[in-house]
Chain A
Amino acid sequence: MNGAEALIKALEAEGTKVIFGYPGGVLVSFYESLCDSNMIHILTRHEQAAAHMADGYARVSGKAGVCIGTSGPGATNLVTGVATAHMDSSPVIALTGQVSSNIIGDDAFQEIDSFGIFMPITKHNFQIRQADDLVDIMRKAHEIATTGRPGPVHVDMPSDILTGELSKAVKIPADINISSYKPTTVGHPLQIKKTLEAIMNSKKPLILAGGGVSIAHASEELLEFAELLNIPVCTTLMGKGCISEKHELSTGLTGMHGTHASNNLIDKCDLLIAVGCRFSDRVTGKVSEFAPNAKVIHMDIDPAEIGKNVSVDIPIVGDAKRILQDLIKQLKKQKRKHEELSTSENTLENSNSKFLDISEWSDEVKKLKEESEKELSVTAEEKQKTKETKETKEEEKIEKIEKIHPKVAIYDLMEAIYDIDPELENTYVTTDVGQNQMWMARYFKFKKDALITSGGLGTMGFGFPAALGVKFAKPKANVISISGDGGFLMNSQELATMAHYDIPVVAVIFNNRALGMVHQLQSVLNNRQSQIDLGETPDFIQLAHSYGVMAERVSNSKDLKETLKKAILMNKPYVIEVMIDSGYAVKVVAPGANLTKMIEPENKEPCSEKILFKDMVSKL
């Protein structure tokens, strides 16, 4: 058996069902052996997309997602996708071919130090030096990628190792002992005890839930914990939906684009219980003014996250699910004891009856939430603002194009999706990066952790290929990707992949003909516009049609809802281009500012002053 065959066996043993990749010279033996396997291979049109698909697959399936690229440019094209997975703790196995080991270091054709390049953007990486190690390393790679704090693992495989014969029969190790890798999963009992004490002593507790809750599949426990104590819950972008945002304890997103309620609650709380979040700068705003009145409890599987950005009073290292289960158990015990005491007539303190009395705080939360709701809901005026503008399409023809207010568009999407799947049990939504992402984060209420987005690296071009990957993890689910026009164009070549395999995903493009988020940032920071105008190319409908994908352009609210419903129910590859009012900005906390100081950037159209090549020539 040669290395490539052993690799296939090893992947099959890991339960790999699908590989996203792109072949090349050094991978010929791998692709040849793949013919004898039942695993599916999806030929993407770019390796970056292969990595995003594997990432999308991993985030939803709970298993590792596998992608592969050839040596040199194949490997470097994977980089952005792998780095994206790294920042969001997604278990991706990235395989790269490498030139033959006898010419490594000679700057051979398509040689690149992919081992060195991937080192800082993976949880761990390997370069295989003998064919006999392949199977063990593949086991280790999966173990490392999927346990503890998950993350991508890269394996670089010189071509002669793939073609070389193994000296012994392949034996897939069931368990692998990596002596130096032992993640802690159980929370320390003393810290748990301290946490309970801190909770009982608090008047204004708040839970901050991050992506770690979803990764640990701890949503149910989080809800039970919050409900037992009646503590409000705000989330980070990655934690969005880990508690239903329709639940009365949910206060919505926090941070730079957070809700009025969440950001103010962080400012006011006296106890912040952070679960599976890493306090990124997008969440904290000005760190020195973050949660100024609070004792901080931080539960995380990665000890290095604790105390990294925010100083912590009670650290608990471990798996969020385990820790929450432990806390719930103890809380229930305490509650029972408390109830017994307060009902027994003999006790002296039977009048002091509440388990944890935070009713004043709950009233405050309610008030803040009401204010948030006002701001988050669509006003009649905004609905009206769906406006008509004139645009010059071709030389002489003047077309009237209506545009939808982005908030209205999100509500339309939300209504359409909830009409089809009221409990959101069978739906996943990916977003790209930009205003589209933040509109979704602010206005779309998720009932479960169904949002797949690039929170850490903020990678434009992520959403659409990730959605294709999600569909392989949940073939029966409705999968919808939301992108801006800029981000969609960064991986629009995957329309070919979608069409070729007939993958039923609905790609919604919010076309504001601008790099909206940068436009907004410019107006917050210095109010000068530069290089954010994407102009009117391309015609997304024609673009989709050219790949054989059905497509429709909508420019009013009613059409959007109906078209999205139709596309989802049709269960076919579908592109919906939504004409968006480009002059609308989302409320933000300016970078590095205090969370309670949200500003509303000036609503401005991007200037569409276009300079043509012929006019630039004089400057060249």
Chain B
Amino acid sequence: MDKRHIITVLVLHKPSVLQRISGLFARRWFNISSITVGTTENPDIARMTIVVKGDDTHLEQVLKQLNKLVEVVKVKDLKHNNYVERELCIVKIHAPTESGKSQITQYANIFRGSIVDLSAETITVEITGDESKINAFLDLVRPLGIKEVARTGLTALMRGSKILKSNKK
């Protein structure tokens, strides 16, 4: 059965690493639902969070093939919801009237979003949270008219004191 898996990959912070990883996914027909990359506390290491869909055998291959790449330091599949996931979304909503604007502001407050830009015709909201929270917010404002959405894709960390460390040393 196809499940959604969140994979964290620590990689050497080098040119073309993203190409190597995306190439691996493309060539083996692993579908990426989302991928984010950013720096970490260690300037030599970058962290990627990759969301893939597939059954367990598929996941195992994804993990093993990623692990084979020379620039990959550590791969982990974040299991059992034992992690914190966040995504940033900026959405521009059609709001030509004052009442529309106040309505959106109210929604944004409830979802702990914030208004980051305003024009005569539009209002732009920034919202962070897990995928379902953002989806819920977007569903809510959709009837008002979404002009544009930018989402970062998911990033995640394990809960508690556990950290991801290279075991290849």
The verdict on B159 contacting chain A, using a C-beta distance below 8 Å, is no
User: Residue B73 contacts which of A115, A123, A144, A179 (CB distance < 8 angstroms)?
Assistant: A179
Cβ–Cβ contact A304 & B166, under 8 A: no
Using A120-B23, A120-B27, A307-B57 as known contacts, say yes or no to A178 and B64 having CB atoms under 8 A apart: no
Q: Could you tell me the distance in whole angstroms from the C-beta of A54 to the nearest C-beta in chain B? A: 21
The verdict on A119 contacting chain B, using a C-beta distance below 8 Å, is yes
The verdict on B142 contacting chain A, using a C-beta distance below 8 Å, is no
Q: How far is the CA of A302 from the CA of B166 in the complex (A)?
A: 19
Q: How far is the CA of A302 from the CA of B23 in the complex (A)?
A: 20
Across the interface, which residues of B come within 8 angstroms of A179, CB to CB?
Answer: 12, 73, 166, 168-169
Using A180-B12, A304-B64, A304-B68 as known contacts, say yes or no to A119 and B20 having CB atoms under 8 A apart: yes
User: Residue A178 contacts which of B19, B65, B70 (CB distance < 8 angstroms)?
Assistant: B70
From 156 to 185 in chain A, residues with beta carbon under 8 angstroms from any chain B beta carbon are: 178-182
Report how many residues on chain B are interfacial, defined by Cβ distance under 8 Å: 23
The verdict on B61 contacting chain A, using a C-beta distance below 8 Å, is yes
Q: Could you tell me the distance in whole angstroms from the C-beta of B66 to the nearest C-beta in chain A? A: 9
Across the interface, which residues of A come within 8 angstroms of B69, CB to CB?
Answer: 124
Q: Could you tell me the distance in whole angstroms from the C-beta of B132 to the nearest C-beta in chain A? A: 32
Using A180-B72, A180-B73 as known contacts, say yes or no to A119 and B23 having CB atoms under 8 A apart: yes
Q: How far is the CA of A179 from the CA of B45 in the complex (A)?
A: 11
Look across to chain A and name the residue whose beta carbon is closest to the beta carbon of B167: A182
Chain A interface, >50% SS class: loop
Across the interface, which residues of B come within 8 angstroms of A311, CB to CB?
Answer: 57
Across the interface, which residues of B come within 8 angstroms of A120, CB to CB?
Answer: 23-24, 27
Across the interface, which residues of B come within 8 angstroms of A302, CB to CB?
Answer: 68
A298-315 near B? 1/0 per residue, CB < 8 Å: 000011101110010000
Cβ–Cβ contact B67 & A303, under 8 A: yes
Cβ–Cβ contact B67 & A181, under 8 A: no
Q: Could you tell me the distance in whole angstroms from the C-beta of B85 to the nearest C-beta in chain A? A: 25
Q: How far is the CA of A123 from the CA of B70 in the complex (A)?
A: 8
Q: How far is the CA of A311 from the CA of B57 in the complex (A)?
A: 9
Cβ–Cβ contact B70 & A182, under 8 A: no
Q: How far is the CA of A304 from the CA of B60 in the complex (A)?
A: 8
Counting chain B CB atoms within 10 Å of each CB, the highest count among A182, A302, A304, A308 belongs to A304
Q: How far is the CA of A120 from the CA of B16 in the complex (A)?
A: 13
From 331 to 371 in chain A, residues with beta carbon under 8 angstroms from any chain B beta carbon are: none
Cβ–Cβ contact A180 & B166, under 8 A: yes
Cβ–Cβ contact A307 & B60, under 8 A: yes
Across the interface, which residues of B come within 8 angstroms of A124, CB to CB?
Answer: 69-70
The verdict on B71 contacting chain A, using a C-beta distance below 8 Å, is yes
Q: How far is the CA of A308 from the CA of B169 in the complex (A)?
A: 26
Q: Could you tell me the distance in whole angstroms from the C-beta of B124 to the nearest C-beta in chain A? A: 35
From 289 to 304 in chain A, residues with beta carbon under 8 angstroms from any chain B beta carbon are: 302-304
Using A179-B168, A182-B169 as known contacts, say yes or no to A116 and B19 having CB atoms under 8 A apart: yes
Look across to chain A and name the residue whose beta carbon is closest to the beta carbon of B68: A304
Cβ–Cβ contact B60 & A144, under 8 A: no
Across the interface, which residues of A come within 8 angstroms of B27, CB to CB?
Answer: 120
Across the interface, which residues of B come within 8 angstroms of A178, CB to CB?
Answer: 70
User: Residue B16 contacts which of A115, A180, A181 (CB distance < 8 angstroms)?
Assistant: A115
User: Residue B65 contacts which of A119, A181, A304 (CB distance < 8 angstroms)?
Assistant: A304
Across the interface, which residues of A come within 8 angstroms of B12, CB to CB?
Answer: 179-180
Across the interface, which residues of A come within 8 angstroms of B64, CB to CB?
Answer: 303-304, 306, 308
Chain A interface (Cβ within 8 Å of chain B)? 115-116, 119-120, 123-124, 127, 144, 178-182, 302-304, 306-308, 311
Q: Can you list 29 A-B contacts (CB < 8 A)?
A: A115-B16, A116-B19, A119-B19, A119-B23, A120-B27, A124-B69, A124-B70, A144-B70, A179-B12, A179-B73, A179-B168, A179-B169, A180-B12, A180-B70, A180-B71, A180-B73, A180-B168, A181-B70, A182-B168, A182-B169, A302-B68, A303-B64, A303-B68, A304-B61, A304-B68, A307-B57, A307-B60, A307-B61, A308-B61
A-B residue pairs, 7 tightest by C-beta: A304-B64, A182-B168, A124-B70, A180-B73, A181-B70, A304-B65, A304-B68
